[in-house]
Structure 1
Amino acid sequence: MASVPLPAPCGDVAFEGVVHIVCVLDPAAYEVRVAYADARGRPFGWVAAFDAAMAGEGGQTLLSMNGGMYHKDLTPVGLLVEDGREKVPLNLEDGEGNFFMKPNGVFMIGRDGRGTVMEASAYERAAQDALYATQSGPMLVIDGEIHPRFEPDGASRHIRNGVGIDGKGRTVLAVSRKPVSLGSFARLFRDELGCRNALFLDGAISTLTGNGKVVIGGKHPAGPILTVFERKQ
């Protein structure tokens, strides 16, 4: 099957023997949003279904990917903010699984259109005024340090996707083309992509679409969805 061309801000980056698709998004040129449900409150359910819904409304997505953890009914496990409205509150509880591997974190888009990644507890203390936000976990990189619970190259390997903010304030999205450990994926963001803070979004079911076509993954379930549009000039 022929490969799908990558959107303009994306390219392949080889790191520690694994190729990753990396999308670097200047806030002046691209608008990043978080989406979850349609106007009737029904979850989109999977990434390509969201793209199709947007196309039906005349809004072509540039790219989309899984945007955070969810329960079996697709409701977000943690914080969800859409269009400035908090739909699901911040979750600081303890539990099992990747989401609860503290510190976990929040990716948000502020009213100025710029992205931020921070620990969930820091988000609570700062009382952020987000336009869009999603909570996931674990953090990959925290103030330049790899998450303390990661092994350098653990045996658990999956196709993974995540988000970080680079030194120029650009949102950086990445998804591995092959299974990768959390340790290596974290180092990709810190050492190759220059992100002092980065957040794990999902693994094993990670999906990336470009211009409405599936690049990585497929009809896997999705709760929150990160999506990107070209900013109108």
Structure 2
Amino acid sequence: MIFLVVSAIALSGCELQGGEPVTRTEIGSGSETRVALRREASACEVAIFEDVPLTHCIADPAKHKISTVLADPAGTAYRSLKTYGEALGDDAAVVAFAMNGGMYEGDGSPIGYYVEEGQRLEELDRGDGTGNFYLKPNGVFFGTDGFWEIRTSTDFLFNVSDRPQFGIQSGPMLVIDGQLHPEIQDDGPSKIVRNGVGIDDDGKAHFVISESALSFGQLARYFRDELQTPNALYLDGGVSGLWDPVTERMDDINNIGPLIVVTKKVSE
């Protein structure tokens, strides 16, 4: 797989000004762990859309669990996929893949609604502001017991009463009930490495990260036209990273916020 590094100008505070070389770092305690991982099929695959290389990862509720992760048991934010992977040690074998989640403050704390292991750490943000998060409608990616959803923040507020096991707010929505976000241009001037998540009609979660710069419109069309996800949510850009243990890909990007971790279900 060829990974491209592109410099671009960001739109929001969480999008870096310019691109930095991405380092791939191996996580694993020994050769036996690495050999075992290579025997498995990766949940991620390479795709090309409108001449842009992407990596597309699928979380299947029949095979996977999804969780949000922010900090270690002592409360210290991980701030990178590498730090989180190293902290897991041998437990890293259960990870199918992981990505950076939604947007965050300077200290790594989430902007907007955030739930981890059923505990709400941040409330829903319905305010106005500048930057991608506030390009309304924004939305919430959440789920419990293998049932995962993406809803606009307003829909979530008025129609979801039970607290989910995990939840993260970000913005903007890319696809809403099969339609592109009304404020997203077909191919706007802002192009940067980006990632997002969408849910298809079978309940599978599709995570996408671009390997070179692309516009919001291109990313949104990929979710709508290729993945056919009725609802999709932008996660972030410029700081977007992926950890895929099977291919030994580790995007060593520091000072990020919440992580979304997809783990393999273990037979009882």
TM-score range, shorter chain: over 0.9
Offset at residue 23 of structure 1 (A):
0.9
Match for residue 260 of structure 2?
Answer: 226
For residues 190 and 216 of structure 1, the distance between their equivalents in structure 2, rounded to whole angstroms, comes to 28
- Decide which of 159, 171, 178 is 1:144's aligned counterpart: 178
Instruction: Provide Cα deviations, 1:3-58, integer angstroms capped at 9, x if missing partner.
Output: 77896221111111111111111101011111111111111111221121122656
- Give the secondary structure class of the aligned counterpart of 2:89: helix
Match of 2:236, as an amino acid? D
Match for residue 240 of structure 2?
Answer: 206
Distance change (3 Å), C-alpha of 1:19 and 1:217: same
- Does the alignment pair 1:125 with 2:158? yes
Match for residue 103 of structure 2?
Answer: 69
Instruction: Provide Cα deviations, 1:38-82, integer angstroms capped at 9, x if missing partner.
Output: 111111111221121122656642211110000111111111101
For residues 82 and 224 of structure 2, the distance between their equivalents in structure 1, rounded to whole angstroms, comes to 29
TM-score by length of structure 2 reads 0.81
Offset at residue 123 of structure 1 (A):
1.0
Match for residue 14 of structure 1?
Answer: 48
TM-score by length of structure 1 reads 0.93
Contact 1:48-1:212 at 8 Å conserved across structures: no
Identity across aligned pairs (percent)?
36
Distance change (3 Å), C-alpha of 1:105 and 1:48: same
Contact 1:114-1:169 at 8 Å conserved across structures: yes
Structure 1: unaligned runs, 5 residues or longer = none
Match for residue 81 of structure 1?
Answer: 115
Instruction: Provide Cα deviations, 1:196-217, integer angstroms capped at 9, x if missing partner.
Output: 0000001011010111877374
Structure with max Cα Rg: 2
Structure 2: unaligned runs, 5 residues or longer = 4-23, 25-37
Distance change (3 Å), C-alpha of 1:156 and 1:217: farther
Match for residue 115 of structure 1?
Answer: 148
Contact 1:102-1:137 at 8 Å conserved across structures: yes
Match of 2:80, as an amino acid? W
Q: How many corresponding residue pairs?
A: 232
